[in-house]
Chains A and B, each alone.
Chain A
Amino acid sequence: MTDAWVGIRAELKAPQQTPHNITALTLTRHVQAGASERVALRWRPRSGPTVTYTYGDLDRAVSRFASGLIQEDIVEGHTVAILAGRIPELLVAFLGTLRAGAVATVLFSSFGPEPVLRRLQRGGVNLLVTTPRLYRDKVAPIRDQLPNLRRVLVVDGPGRLAALSAQSDPPEGTEDFGAWLARGAPVFPDVDVEAEDPALLHFTSGTTGEPKGVVHVHDSVLAHAYTGKRVLGLDAGTRYWCTADPGWVTGISYGILAPLARGATLFIDEEEFDAERWWQNLEAERVEVLYTAPTALRLLRRMHAAGVTGGPLPFLRGIFSVGEPLAHADAQWGREAFGIPVRDTWWQTETGCIVVATCWDEEPKDGAVGRAVPPFEVACLHGTEERKVVAGPGEPGELCIGTPWPSMFRTYLGNPALYARSFLGTWYMSGDVASLDADGWVSFVGRRGDVFKSAGHLISPAEVEDAMLQHPGVADVGVWGRHDPVAGTLVEAHVVPAAGHEPGDDLARDILGFARAKLGPALAPRTIQFRTHLPRTPSGKIVRKDLGNPQP
């Protein structure tokens, strides 16, 4: 670890005996410093008034959850998964798992049963927190394929962290989350973990159909805390809204960990995107810092042009974007509509924290995401597999990051060989192609390998194809991105129909419906093109980039 990270560690060090647990920095530190009454979370349910939870409220509920895990002997080496929408119980289960020393993984609630099964299996998940509806739709049908899954807790009627009695008849094979909390202890210490103990498991798309399980350790929170301040400008009490779902890494690193480590007040809206509601949120919550994505900005821009807007936002001082490079037109619109610049950031599930950014105190540069956030060191490498050299200013190459840093991933679960291949000497190779100018500003060109981004999320065509091939009408299928003015890129399937299946609207509808039911809206294709054959290499591999509408 470089000297710079050592200094950052000293600055953030928790004042008690068990300094390494993520919850020591995100909760215990504040409670011990007398900030129990500071607001940690403002949660707006789909309907009804916004609810306030203090650091003390969160800390007690997290203790109750953690003590329950210990009683069940779900401890270090075990994994807890959460499959839920944006509800307070998600934070409680996530942080409670960390406090107990087990590994936490959050699955996107828009995944269908297939991606859910693959991730629960791959993670060897022992306990699952979900909702009755998600359980019925996505877990009950696959439960018999999950031998490690001991218990399922369901949240019925979210938001009542203090009302702890059982609220409902949970589905067969599950227990009520509230009853679980009621049995727990409201004060429970952070389990004394090592800095290098696994804490977080994130799934990201790989070039094969199997999702990659990216493992981060407890020490990673140093990087979240540091970049939360250095890049986003978060301080104690900052009113902050990260619009990302916790099913994606941004919703964890910057939706939960960075703001809590800084003692900020985070806002979470359970509802999906709704332009009018977003303006209301920004105004009513007096949001100071917003972290969002280009897709959301494009939707806001579109509705803004039609007159959907809000009152003045005198408190808003920072807007940041992540997921895909910010287009010039969207950045310009943001500056006009909000009166402040939109600043871009770049990082990956593997990096765990922001690496390249235009920080809160920097003026954005057109066409560039930003520069390496000190103490990060980045370079673009190009050349042959055998011999790589640092690209000159303006020359494209693979963006590489000098190792190590606290939130650098520590392995791909069950695939150490792939992990080893991600490094070249002391460099981590990101797989993203970029160029650096003479002043260190980074511009992105594209991505190596057979993956692409839709609405800011990495998609593995192979995972989508695997599910589609199960439809009897599909003889062959290749999946790739198709340009779309709002999403940037949509998932599109190129299908060779099976004998006896007539290509046309009926078959398209049937296949799309089938894929949607298996994969959910996050992964399922939105359009189908029928083809007589797919472009393939001599060895039989689909040339996805020749499927039309290539990525910019």
Chain B
Amino acid sequence: MSLQLRRKTHESVIYIDRDSAPRIMPSGEDFILEDLPIGTRVLYPNPPLKGLPNREAAIRYALNHPHGCDPLFAQLEPGMQVTVAVDDISLPLPPMATPDIRQTVLEVVLDMLAGHGVDDVHILIANCLHRKMTEWEMKRMVGARIFDAYYPDRYYNHDAEWADGLVKLGETKHKEPLVLNRRAAESDLLIYVNINFVPMDGGHKSVAVGLCDYESLRAHHEPQTILDSDSYMDPPRSELNRKCTRLGKLVDEHLNVFHIETAINNRMYKGDMDFLLKNEDDFTAFDRMKFEAMRYTMNKLPRPARRKLLHSRPAQYEMTACHAGKTDPVHDKIVAKGFEQYAIPVSGQCDILITGIPDISPYNVYSILNPLLVQVMALGYHFNFYRNKPLLKKGGVLIVQHPCYDDFDHKFHPSYIEFFNRLLPETRDSFVLREKYEREFANNPSYVEMYRRGNAYHGAHPFFMWYWGENGRQHVGKVIAAGAENAHVPAMLGWERADNLTEAIAMARSYMGNSAEITMLHQPMIGVADME
């Protein structure tokens, strides 16, 4: 480890020394304490930005001072048809303490609509091929007052399989089709309410992806687009973002969209679990006590109960910015604000990257982090949290700390089970999977009905999860699953396994050499490595 690297470069970049405390790592529903090798670089999330003191006032200001168009009130006419689309439960993570930002925005917007004689208003959840939100989740997201007034006839989930509820807008010049929700497309005004959690969210992706159908989605949710994105968390270098922008232009040709985007800070926990966001060297005796108490309690509980307990802890995010108006200028400002929170300046790639996988992902809210989701969190999200170049060197080793249990949610992830057990033993090649099986799963009548009438992810969704890890899969030399409780799940994913982190590091060093540079992402890591 060179002195240059050992120097403290940023408050979120810590180096392990002789007297450093062990670090807390998530491992699924558990939290473990690990002594890391001396010289290991640990990246922490930046301290939370200060939230706006009056959320409602900030929203009103944004609506009255929009970017690139007239204020919202000036666009309203009595008798017009308006649809308000909102992000689904995949944002933010975990679901935030009530009132949700969407509730506050909706309260302001709906009052304004009512005040201007606009009565034909529908609230649409832009879930695309994600699972439909349950009644309880929908109520929690918008509050009882809005829920009681609008549910179920005027507040509902988008249905990407309801042919009569969709309309084709056209194609981009690159022949990417766009079929959108009919109600949204035929409204006089579409208002989109977004919460920007990671830089990939929001912008043209909100409408063009959130409200489209399977055929439109498969034009850009495919392995080559992911491979061409370096990374998809860095909008200017993301092919996915470029495709969404092209589709967004098509949306803007046909629809009048008023975009409301919000940025939040990264205060995931406070009070009893806030120590998870702190540097362990700075722990007070009380922090250590809280951690031990949590670990003791969790150890006494069976896994489903631990999961339930973790999922019952709402996030404490605060809104840091709100902008409204035309999609592009609004999104630019929100992304800039997001990077203000998330960007961690990092110099030098590492040979071994360690990341614990917590029981948090956009796709397992109130559910199980199944093996495919562990894969997407490791090789998709955690690997792609960089700007300019990957944190891990090409051919380096990624160590994933997770039990890798073979457990799936039959209600939410039915097609994942077949994908994992039937397809992965045959091939892990994303291109082959897409060509040979994606349409079969997408059109499987059972999966279609479970998506439409139940709360299942669409039949094609596990494929997108696999493609999402394509960048990482092509970049890393090896993935080691530390703490995996079985051999077959890591083997099916193409990974090696180790009993614990120490063994995993030894295995990684035998591959990368004893002087290998090690970096650990301290979870929960909502941050982007801003590489020099």
The finding on whether chains A and B are genuine partners in a shared complex, rather than unrelated, reads no
